[in-house]
């Protein structure tokens, strides 16, 4: 839980509600962009790379794609990524 709090605090919103992502959040987004087509990264890879459990990782990913979706994804890719994130959150409950 401590890791989640520090992540949420690090991505601060500016006056227009845009999240200024820190390096770790950018790495998380890049990781998920690589893996969402396969259902998201493995729990082991997420834990090893970011020190987070699935619930914390995908909660942060959900927040990031809701506030500032990656511009490099098409609408259908973004829809699929959000679907994977929701599914993994449901499985982690």
- Using the 8-state DSSP alphabet, how is residue 36 labeled? G
Q: The pTM is what?
A: 0.75
**What pLDDT score was predicted for residue 21?**
77
Which candidate, 15, 12, 23, 16, places its Cα nearest to that of 63?
Answer: 12
The strand pairing partners of 12, in sequence order, are: 20
Tens digit of each residue's pLDDT, the chain (93 residues): 444 444 444 455 444 444 577 899 889 999 999 999 999 999 999 999 999 999 999 999 999 998 888 888 889 999 999 999 999 999 988
* Side-chain-side CA neighbours of residue 26 (13 Å): 4
pLDDT digits (tens, 9 = 90+) for 59-82: 999 999 988 888 888 899 999 999
| Domain edges within the chain | 21-91
CA distance 36 to 33: 6
Tokens read off for 86: 């929701």
């Amino acid at each position: 839980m401590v890791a989640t709090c520090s992540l949420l605090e690090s991505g601060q919103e500016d006056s227009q509600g845009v999240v200024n992502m820190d390096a770790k959040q950018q790495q998380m987004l890049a990781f998920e962009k690589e893996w969402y087509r396969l259902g998201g990264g493995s729990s082991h890879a997420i834990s090893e790379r970011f020190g987070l459990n699935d619930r914390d990782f995908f909660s942060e990913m959900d927040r990031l794609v809701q506030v500032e979706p990656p511009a490099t994804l098409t609408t259908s890719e973004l829809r699929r990524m959000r679907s994977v994130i929701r599914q993994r959150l449901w499985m982690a409950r």
